[in-house]
Amino acid sequence: MDGKALAERVRAEVAKDIEELGRPAGLATVLVGDDPASEIYIKRKQEACREVGIEPFDHHLSAETTEEELLALVGELNADDRVTGILCQLPLPDQIDEDRIIRSIAPIKDVDGFHPFSAGHLLQGSPTFVAATPAGIMEILREYEVELLGARAVVVGRSNIVGKPMALLLLAEHATVTICHSRTRDLAAVVREADVVVAAVGRAGMITGDMVREGATVVDVGINRVEGKVVGDVAEDVRGRAGLLTPVPGGVGPMTIASLLRNTVKAARYQAGVLAFPLD
């Protein structure tokens, strides 16, 4: 399943949406410290913004930034009308309480969808902003017409940013969902039952061919650096078993960025009043 090609189409749609909106949209990106991977992600997100007509506002703070300093910056961004969406790149340095920062972002600007307000609305089936990675995966599954109604779906990983929202989105499409994690007994047996597998662990090649039912749809979220190469959580030999498979790179990654852009358009619509934002 070609996430790169789909993402290109989504970006073209977003560019049109932004033009039609007729008012400027801006995405504030906040990066604390000098993690090279985070720097690459931020750069890609900013480039994607520019391409579709969203203005990126770059905030790169030192690794020594305190929690209070970061809270003050988020407060300024919340109040700034030029800033449609706020993205705080994770992970944050140890001296900063990540959850507290996430909670400080105005829910109407929470384009990452990590705020408990956004997560709660997703849980209750009336989403505002859905986390970009699982949202992008749902778009890939729709594009390839993967049957979810009544399907058995297994999500490996239970993080707040990928695994849990992924499971909720599959459930909303009427899949029968199982969530696996590091304490799951006999992971292979559980995964083997699945029509749709989403691997979001962060361990190179942990889903192997013998764990995958013939013809199953496999989504590889993992980003692992092995000997200078980026590989997913899904081993090479799954290719011969899966009916449909997302590659790494070129699968979930590009769609994550495309979904972030879609969320920024949604934020702009909420803020323009053309879409009603649910009051908390």
Binding footprint of ligand NDP on the chain (CB under 6 A): 133, 156-159, 161-163, 180-184, 187, 200-203, 221-224, 252-253, 256
How near is the Cβ of 149 to ligand NDP at its closest, in Å?
26
Q: Which is nearer to ligand NDP, 23 or 183 (CB)?
A: 183
Q: Which is nearer to ligand NDP, 108 or 168 (CB)?
A: 168
Q: Which is nearer to ligand NDP, 85 or 157 (CB)?
A: 157
Whether residue 45 lies in the annotated active site: yes
Cα distance between residue 166 and residue 171, in whole Å: 9
Cα distance between residue 32 and residue 59, in whole Å: 8
How near is the Cβ of 222 to ligand NDP at its closest, in Å?
4
Q: Which is nearer to ligand NDP, 203 or 241 (CB)?
A: 203
Whether residue 266 lies in the annotated active site: no
Give 175-178's long-range contacts (Cβ < 8 A, gap of 24+): 175/148, 175/149, 175/150, 175/151, 176/150, 176/151, 176/152, 177/153, 178/152, 178/153, 178/154
Among 45, 109, 164, 266, the active-site one is 45
Q: Which residue has the tokens 């995966």?
A: 137
State phi, psi for 189 to the nearest 5 degrees.
-65, -40
Whether residue 229 lies in the annotated active site: no
Among 17, 89, 109, 271, the active-site one is 89
How near is the Cβ of 41 to ligand NDP at its closest, in Å?
8
The residues with which 229 forms a beta bridge, in sequence order, are 226
Between strands 229-231 and 224-226, the pairing is: antiparallel
How near is the Cβ of 17 to ligand NDP at its closest, in Å?
22
How near is the Cβ of 165 to ligand NDP at its closest, in Å?
10
The reply to whether omega before 278 is within 30° of 0 (cis) is no
Q: Which amino acid is at 98?
A: E
Beta strands, E only, 33-108: 54-61, 85-88
For residue 138, count other CB atoms closer than 10 A to its CB: 21
Q: Which is nearer to ligand NDP, 108 or 139 (CB)?
A: 139
Among 17, 46, 109, 112, the active-site one is 112
Q: Is 154 exposed, middle or buried (0-12, 13-18, 19+ CB in 10 A)?
A: buried
Kindly list the catalytic residues.
45, 89, 112
